[in-house]
Amino acid sequence: MTLRTSGFATMLVLTMAYSSFTLFAFAVVASDLQDEFDLSNLQIGLLGAANTGVGGLFSLVAGPLTDRLGGRWAMTGVLTAAAIGGALAAMSQSYNALLAALAVGGIAQGWGNPATNRAIADGVAVAQRGLLTGIKQAGIQVGVFIAGFGMPAVTAAWGWRAGMWMLCGASLATMLGLTLIADTKRSAAEHSEHKDAPTVALPTYVYQVAMYGFLLGTIGGGMGRFLPLFAEEQVGLSPTLAGIVFGIGGLIAIPSRIGWGVLLDRGMSTRQVLTICGVGGIITMALLLGAIDQRIGLLWVATLLAGVTLSSWNTAANVAMIREAKADAGRATGVLYLGFLFGITVGGPAVGWSIDRFDGYGPAWTASLIVCALGVVALAPAIGRLRQPAASAAR
């Protein structure tokens, strides 16, 4: 990988990390937010829902907008929204203010993947797109890792608001690095050609994989938002150790997402990757059910497995959007993430309500296991339309 490509990959990773950092940071400091604002688990879930709900809706706008702007300027928009959302969160003095801050951050959440996928489609050769997609998808998990390990320490030293100000500053600083990928923006002629071209219907499989993403997204919304609290309340870990468990899951997913990308470049089909990740999710939820009785070992195994599967399937889905949709990669990604982010939006509040209603995590994890199984089943109609990388490269 050349120095120029490495700089390009770094900007992709940072953009993805900051686009969703607020959501992960609030999951880690959930107990602090509950103490400060006297929040229920349902209200904690609704904070995340404000973020992903706005992100899901905005992804439909972000896709076509990104295809018109090109990757670089779209990524600038992502970082701007992340900075504003972080600043608003840091200044929040009420629950409603937190909701508004998470909603603004949702613009970055919904725009991150369309923007970075467009940048890859514009500036990366077909043979390298799986690897670069895996690397940039690992950026989300870099955000999870930083939130899990960094937020407890920052909160203990200066309070959770300091972490939000750091997000704001880091997002603004990263904009300077976007000059490294200035060449990924299309020429004026290409821009005009895309603008004047008639809108073409997306392939059916885009919507089918979006359904798969919706179902697995509900698992991510529930497990991702409440795993630290589960580790504290049900398994008996300290807040710091619970944050480390959360961060380790993000750390494991970094090489996992890259690894899936490499395997896709080498001929593994998207069907295989998505199916493996779905089955891994089923096993993960079963392990979390077993961890309820303070079985720390099962919690660690579940966390590691989730990092390899539940947190990594997005690589295969994004590779499919980039390779198959081509000039409409941004729009196709918008549809994919409409499903995925709405899944997260539903999953968080649903799990929070279940915990409050049944005074425990058992029913929530059981329902999550069933939904994950449905995700594997929902993939079946899309199997024949997720083409092999070789076929895509030949077109």
Percent of the chain with pLDDT over 90: 37
pLDDT score, position 384: 46
pLDDT digits (tens, 9 = 90+) for 95-152: 999 999 999 999 999 999 889 988 887 777 777 778 888 898 888 878 888 888 889 8
* CA distances from residue 189 to 145, 186, 194, 238, 379 in whole angstroms, order as listed: 41, 8, 9, 58, 39
206 against 2, higher pLDDT? 206
**Per-residue pLDDT averaged across 297-306, rounded?**
94
Structure tokens at 24: 């992960």
pLDDT score, position 197: 52
pLDDT band at 194; cut points 50, 70, 90: very low
pLDDT band at 77; cut points 50, 70, 90: very high
pLDDT score, position 277: 95
Contact partners, residue 172, CB within 8 Å, separation at least 6: 79, 83
pLDDT digits (tens, 9 = 90+) for 251-284: 898 899 899 989 988 888 877 898 899 999 999 9
Percent of the chain with pLDDT over 70: 88
Distance from C-alpha of 183 to C-alpha of 214, rounded to nearest angstrom: 34
Distance from C-alpha of 93 to C-alpha of 98, rounded to nearest angstrom: 8
pLDDT digits (tens, 9 = 90+) for 372-391: 999 988 877 655 445 444 44
Q: How far apart are the first and last CA of the chain?
A: 25
Distance from C-alpha of 33 to C-alpha of 202, rounded to nearest angstrom: 42
330 against 73, higher pLDDT? 73
pLDDT band at 187; cut points 50, 70, 90: very low
DSSP 237: -
What DSSP string runs through 63-119?
Answer: HHHHHHH-HHHHHHHHHHHHHHHHHHHHH--SHHHHHHHHHHHHHHHHHHHHHHHHH
DSSP 186: P
pLDDT score, position 71: 84
DSSP 268: -
pLDDT digits (tens, 9 = 90+) for 302-337: 999 999 999 899 899 888 787 766 667 778 888 888
pLDDT score, position 390: 41
pLDDT band at 189; cut points 50, 70, 90: very low
Cβ pair 132, 319 in contact under 8 A: no
pLDDT score, position 64: 86
pLDDT score, position 243: 84
Closest CA to 332 of 117, 15, 187: 117
pLDDT band at 190; cut points 50, 70, 90: very low
Structure tokens at 57: 């809706």
Cβ pair 54, 110 in contact under 8 A: yes
Distance from C-alpha of 393 to C-alpha of 395, rounded to nearest angstrom: 6
Q: Which domains does the chain have, with CATH numbers?
A: 3-390 (1.20.1250.20)
Structure tokens at 215: 């179902």
Closest CA to 56 of 341, 333, 347, 331: 341
pLDDT digits (tens, 9 = 90+) for 242-253: 888 888 887 898
393 against 40, higher pLDDT? 40
Question: Could you tell me the sign of the dihedral formed by the alpha carbons of 91, 97, 98, 103, in that order?
Answer: negative
pLDDT score, position 199: 62
Alpha helices in the chain (DSSP H): 3-19, 21-28, 30-37, 41-69, 71-91, 95-123, 129-158, 160-177, 188-196, 204-233, 239-265, 270-291, 296-308, 314-325, 329-358, 362-379, 389-394
Give phi and psi for 124, each to the nearest 5.
-125, 135
Question: Beta-carbon neighbour count of residue 391 at 10 Å?
Answer: 11
pLDDT score, position 184: 47
Residue with tokens 């499903």: 339
Q: State yes or no: pLDDT of 63 exceeds 70.
A: yes
Distance from C-alpha of 250 to C-alpha of 277, rounded to nearest angstrom: 15
pLDDT band at 186; cut points 50, 70, 90: very low
Question: Beta-carbon neighbour count of residue 77 at 10 Å?
Answer: 17
Q: State yes or no: pLDDT of 291 exceeds 90.
A: yes
Q: State yes or no: pLDDT of 65 exceeds 70.
A: yes
Structure tokens at 152: 């407890």
